[in-house]
Chain A
Amino acid sequence: MIEAHDLTRRYGDFTAVSGISFSVQEGEILGMLGPNGAGKTTTIRMITGFLPPTSGQVTVDGKDLFESPREARRQLGYLPENVSLYPEMRVDEYLAYRARLEGLSRGEARSAIPLAVERCLLGDVRHQIIGTLSKGFRQRVGLATAILHNPRVLVLDEPTVGLDPKQIISIRELIRELGRQHTLLLSTHILPEVELLCDRVVIIDKGHIVAEGTPQSLRERWTGNPALRVILKDAPAGAAEALAALPGVLRVKDGGPDGSWTLECEPGSDPREEVFRTAASAGWVLLELARQRGATLEDIFVRLTTADTADTAAASEGAHPPGPPAATPADATEEVVS
């Protein structure tokens, strides 16, 4: 639906986006992930036709955004990062204005406006003046205007930023709902959002794409070998060697002050049963035995966007990372802000 080819944008000497190419397939939800200042909004603005790229090309539904901007824009619904509405207008007046602006006929508007109001749950505030609405409601008005002309593609730039947790949940539900009927490009720096909503992810840093794939494939590629965490009471001598000799175990690392060991295992192997039997037959007291959680998208994100240029270059070529990622105890509901 959207093809971005070799997009570059410079502001004076500063290159905000450099040679980004990606595509959004019909029906999918693509997440664009990156720390603040990575070039997400610039990229989004080039895709919606607000900013012309310094070089490169964008097509929406096969129509070039700069050769036939009107046809291309008709297929786009856009929710910018800062939703600015006209504060003196009422919600339904504003929607009527937007419908005219999008070129809907009177009859089309008559059916499109109530539908947008209903889908974005704006029924209670439709006669209210926009200036008096809360940020969450304004965001929904913005979404309603984005879907008003029933575009095939929706582009949402950080749709949940600045909302309270309850509003975030309701906007996310709304986005998921919209994703069933529209192709969606979603930019965010909030990782759980991507895990929850997106079919595919593009990670951007310093104006480059550093990784691309499904959340699942990214996790698999960056997780490294599976690992087990083992604690034996009093850390009996010879135990480390015995564990290292178990089938499927590659090596044993001394784990730190709590006397734990980390068993790095072959991919696909699960030697937990052998660990238990070995401990039981030797009379060791097994205090703890746990599989270590693989890398979260958060770990990958942090690694990719904090690594130096050489690392990221290697990463984008799909090189395997050296060793398992730092297993930060990341709460899946936590935000990562660069």
Chain B
Amino acid sequence: MDFISRGFRGRPREQAPAGRLPPGQYMVRDFPVLSAGPTPHTPLSRWTFSITGEIDEPRQWTWEQFRALPTETITKDIHCVTKWSKFDTVWEGVSVDTLLDGVDTTAEYVLAFSDGGYTTNIPLQDLTEGKAWVAFAFGGEPLEPEHGGPARLLVPHLYFWKSAKWVRGLRLMSENSPGFWETYGYHDYGDPWREQRYSGD
């Protein structure tokens, strides 16, 4: 018989509304901090956001230019591969559609790259048509460094490691190339509703 720790219940787990929690997830109210390395502190004066790779004219914004772009307020559920989900998170950001507006590319894949060397790969079509943002505010406040500030990618329909913290640009690629966690054993696509956690799931 499997071992049970007498009287242990764990953190109180709330009942989530039906159909809202992907398989294997549980609901949290706090916002856990996950990181694979030290928190970078790039001053805004040196911060840029770039679109590179398969693009005729690479694009780059300074922080001021980036913040002058039209913004959207986004309310979404987020799902971390370590099994917590957080509902109704409120972000402010620039739509990736805005950043790619008018770009003519044959690329089908994107590698998002960040300060500190973190990368993650995402099909281009998962970043367009209102599915992804570069977010600079959370809950009405500037995004804290521990949560990816000054800006992080926000791709809420995929596991949250795809929403790269400290993002500095997108590389457009005609061929897929795994990012950090995808190289080290996590799923290439990462759909929480199909529970694509690990490579091969």
Question: Do A and B truly interact?
Answer: no
- Which A residues are within 8 Å of any B CB, using their own CB? none
- Which B residues are within 8 Å of any A CB, using their own CB? none
